[in-house]
Structure 1
């Protein structure tokens, strides 16, 4: 495939990821584009993860409505040469089963499972934004007789990985705006070519009213939205920034930081601008660990790093404490959570707080409802929707 064709495919991915759409629609459109550059067997498997814990929150594998229980357990408990969690925690963020086994995957339990569906080769690539947040992974397969994944194909997947990661994040935000789950769920605003409000999700009013420099109750857009829309239009006219999403961080009237995402829509003859507003808060993992296990703030930080695959020395350096102190924290964490090892800790947090989300998202996919990110809500009373 020519260099121009590969670049054209990357541009298509950028446009697909910029438009506000549901996660399943994003994966379907992206799969078609990827197939033109990296041929694969049957269908890809797309995953989303909570960026703070790197634990899986959803999968989309056309033809596999439910991920087998034993396969999901293997991702977190099995000792094998390759797994989705391991690739997401790795230095390179990409791995093939044949490379990991020096060309002989026959001893890998993962390879034997893949063979039951006709797959022989497997490539996993991490979806991480340029700012360093991991939002998912993509698995591609090839059946027996197909050529090995090439360096050119791997290079293409690395190039589009940050774009897909950003697209996954916005698709999850769009789903939350369309069907809010929390009182602070994001809001979506679409402006027409005259910069008039074409549509807005129910939750957007509170965010618009909280943004400074406007009179939303009188139909006047906040200054931050106007500035962001202007940046979006300028980017749309620049061929070097196809599908680029503008970001802005704004201090609200109430004193909370808000993040605005802006993208240009090209589905009609006239340009339209989509703006997503969300609170600038971290993952919901931290309060979950505090409430479910009674972990201290420092134990919570250590646990989050263990979930991400950090070693004792890495935790020690990041938190500016001794390795001995890290070990004492781990002993307390193991005692409070009822586990004996790091692997058991990761497995327990996943199966108690993320597997319910993972399974609920399978049901949502079948019902054509928005998919969710993050752990399963610890307090069901806080939820405003199912």
Structure 2
């Protein structure tokens, strides 16, 4: 008998290590497809990268996909016509993963793209995964099955939903690495040797290192946060540590000028002598919301209420969503206002979401996995997450 939980943990560890391997986008997609094949079998897959500001497709990587004409029609439906499980709808609803069979209750031909494009090309069910983070939607992964193959099961959808945080982190890292290496970004990139010596640094990285400061300890060449995430990436990619136990090779840190930065690290290759790429960029407001929630000591329930406030839901709607009485929601709001020092819903959203965009406050601080805890225990705060 297959131990489903053991399979999930193994896949999570495998993908966690891929995230920290510093691959190109195409290599990352192929490696992820291979890692998923054993637990979510399919006849093909497609990774689309997107502009996070508009969710318009920017590039695609396909195995056993549609013909060019069929794909053009599919994109037209996706952008201009109503249909089931469209990317923009999934992202707006906060749905991490969904199968067409579940959305149509098994009648796939209710979907326009299935009737007009996919079925004529020999395809049946598809499982879509939105690759979103607090900074936006950077891409989308689709795995699909051919005619006469079983539909995707609910456990398979749940598994991919639980992996979206990792998958999204890996895609964003791959995109940042490619952009930084070609000089088309304001992201700083350092390439470190096994002794943390700097083999390569772009101009933006030099500015970030100056702003972070290396401290006064004799012989120190790099800020502590850079060395920390680099060592974490080596441990994870080398299989010595599990991501779920030690956390990702990523940290938020405040610079000498008072702004916040995100520092990420990925191993470029395999083995103890492989170099590490460290990426440095300004933290987006949405990335800081969970840290501010930690600082205010919001409980998991209060975080969930805050998320729904930021989405514009009324007290009654929040109560219906969380199965709470209206007066209970009001009690939570009073506690949230008191802890955050705000006096209204507008003030609260402005304080936590500087750019007025809702993000997840309830996802675990280590790896977002698409689930939300609703207990009333406060989350531990820490200087680096």
Which bracket does the TM-score occupy, shorter chain normalised?
A: 0.5 to 0.7
Please tell me whether the aligned partners of residues 88 and 137 of structure 1 are also in contact (alpha carbons under 8 angstroms).
no
Is 1:280 the counterpart of 2:304 in the alignment? Answer: no
- C-alpha distance after superposition, 1:244-279 (max 9, x if no partner): 532223344555432211245660234654311112
Instruction: Give the counterpart of 1:8 among 10, 14, 29.
Output: 10
Label 1:241 to 1:81 Cα distance change in 2 as closer, same or farther (>3 A). closer
Is 1:245 the counterpart of 2:248 in the alignment? Answer: yes
Structure 1 distance, partners of 2:67, 2:271, is 34
Residue of structure 1 equivalent to 2:272: 269
Structure 2 distance, partners of 1:61, 1:51, is 20
Please tell me whether the aligned partners of residues 131 and 141 of structure 2 are also in contact (alpha carbons under 8 angstroms).
yes
Please tell me whether the aligned partners of residues 97 and 127 of structure 2 are also in contact (alpha carbons under 8 angstroms).
yes
TM-score, normalised to structure 1, is 0.63
Structure 1 distance, partners of 2:192, 2:92, is 39
Q: Secondary structure at the match of 1:153?
A: helix
Q: Secondary structure at the match of 2:123?
A: coil
Is 1:190 the counterpart of 2:196 in the alignment? Answer: no
Is 1:58 the counterpart of 2:94 in the alignment? Answer: no
Please tell me whether the aligned partners of residues 229 and 250 of structure 2 are also in contact (alpha carbons under 8 angstroms).
yes
Aligned length: 288
Alignment gaps of 5+ in structure 2: 287-310, 319-343, 348-385
Q: Give 1:173 deviation, angstroms.
A: 0.8
- C-alpha distance after superposition, 1:193-240 (max 9, x if no partner): 22222343464333323322359xx98223332344455567674346
Structure 1 distance, partners of 2:54, 2:39, is 31
Question: Which runs of at least 4 in structure 1 moved beyond 6 Å after TM superposition?
Answer: 310-314
Label 1:164 to 1:193 Cα distance change in 2 as closer, same or farther (>3 A). same
Structure 1 distance, partners of 2:38, 2:200, is 35
Which structure has more relative contact order (CA 8 Å, sep 6+)? It is 1
Please tell me whether the aligned partners of residues 97 and 158 of structure 2 are also in contact (alpha carbons under 8 angstroms).
no
Is 1:126 the counterpart of 2:130 in the alignment? Answer: yes
TM-score, normalised to structure 2, is 0.63
Is 1:173 the counterpart of 2:173 in the alignment? Answer: no
Label 1:262 to 1:320 Cα distance change in 2 as closer, same or farther (>3 A). same
- C-alpha distance after superposition, 1:331-371 (max 9, x if no partner): xxxxxxxxxxxxxxxxxxxxxxxxxxxxxxxxxxxxxxxxx
Q: Give 1:162 deviation, angstroms.
A: 1.0
Instruction: Give the counterpart of 1:24 among 10, 26, 44.
Output: 26
1:46-125 aligned at under 5 Å gives the runs: 46-62=47-63, 68-112=71-115, 113-125=117-129
Structure 2 distance, partners of 1:18, 1:242, is 15
